[in-house]
């Protein structure tokens, strides 16, 4: 899966938030309660979009979806989840 470099809304192309949610589900859903937590954080971020500039709302919600992907064992190289998640996203481009 290549990570999108920009948000797109053309035809069947997914938005940044949809891509983030899909990646989070792929990596975090096997982790049980962690997945429930990520879903709750993303929902709350969706409620708080008025706290950021309109051009940043997708980034806020996408970040909420992705904030715990580093807990996924398959990408956890350092066992420090913020670093492992960031490295994984960097590696996806």
Per-residue pLDDT 10s for the chain (93 aa) are 334 434 444 333 469 999 999 999 999 999 999 999 999 999 999 999 999 999 999 999 999 999 999 999 999 999 999 999 999 999 998
Token digits for 4?
Answer: 């999108």
* DSSP-assigned letters across all residues of 2-19: PPPSS---STTPPPHHHH
pTM above 0.85, yes or no: no
- The H-assigned helical ranges of the chain are 16-28, 33-47, 57-66, 81-92
């Amino acid at each position: 899966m290549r990570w999108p470099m920009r948000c797109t809304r053309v035809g069947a192309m997914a938005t940044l938030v949809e891509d983030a949610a899909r990646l989070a589900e792929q990596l975090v859903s096997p982790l049980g309660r962690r997945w429930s937590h990520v879903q709750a954080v993303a929902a709350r971020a969706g409620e708080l979009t008025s706290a950021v500039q309109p051009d940043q709302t997708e980034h806020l919600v996408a970040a909420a979806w992705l904030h715990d992907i580093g807990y996924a064992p398959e990408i956890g190289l350092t066992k420090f989840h913020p670093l492992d998640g960031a490295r994984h996203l960097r590696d996806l481009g």
